[in-house]
Structure 1
């Protein structure tokens, strides 16, 4: 698959890793349709980047919302042959902390958005991709999910987040094996510490300190580096069924 031939759905595409991915896709000649709950930022990005970008305010956990958004994208661009799942949340909470026990509602919400929302988009998009014309490599589509290094070495306070991201990593191979018959590849990226809006509330000193915990390069990752890996996955047809850590060799400490 060539990046210029991509017609991509990008969830969480209005900010952070998703926004960087959208920008890189458009710069390289692709088309992107953003699914995000932040209507203001989504529409601003569409206005800035032009006709090759679409947007629809979408709750990834809602079947009708996602189905409608996918059909909107197909009506706008003719088809979809790629998905990048970046939508997610990461509210910290200890299992038993000073404020009491972990809220079951909060745990469920994280799983619902990060894991079930990702699966919801995968299943509905894969159905659409099955009818695509295969390219010279026999490909009909590509799905790239976002896990986290927390899936493997989660910290105290990340029980819900780690569980959700471990689920994303865990379903990558079985879905890739199933969709192989249709020529649809499935990959997952597990970022480490990246400078996304999640870190904007921290003072510069705190961000620098976090960056120094990365073996090399000793800094927070740039969203553009996530987008670069998305591009590499697009153009290498042998990449399938794998979760790639993008983390500067960091292994997270307990806290």
Structure 2
């Protein structure tokens, strides 16, 4: 299906084959929400979501796909588009997952350390490359958020202004998993600085956070994790924030 003007992406974060949520990116803080990622993917699709946001957390640290079996199970379980991040560091890995059925791949650490790879991938796979910008206090972090850099998030976004990137995901690490609300000020500032659609991530704790993001010019979507798993935001509440709100069909949307 085509993106809505504002799209809500339920997150499936994978650690050791399970669906987990972290707090501020700390692997030792993982809360396990299920051991069957494919079943969770089907649940979000059946609820009416039109995309899945999947991250291989182990892969982000290892620099290669680690939860490949779980990702393949998700791809087999649903027909809605999946965007995948975590450990994608070369063109072969990108091509492999796109060929396997992933709709878009997310490049985070690679965007910082090998920006030429992003440009190459955008040329090879137009419309299918997303840049993930993960930041603490506005400064980019890499390698599963374990390494800090001296690169401002806005400067990283500017590198790819004309590269053909499909979207930028901006995650405020300090808010991620904390349920205290998105950093709309920094996300909106980033959106004003680039023509690339910007997706907000990190901190959704209630439906009002999604409504506020949807009402902020330049923000094209938001990723929701812990709040959905904990029931603080229901799928219906999340879907109602999309522009336009999707018609309920009783199953996966395409």
Shared fold (TM-score, shorter chain, > 0.5): no
* Structure 1 or 2: more strand by fraction: 2
* Structure 1 or 2: more helix by fraction: 1
TM-score (norm 1): 0.39
TM-score (norm 2): 0.39
When Rg is computed on C-alpha atoms for both structures, the one with the higher figure is 1
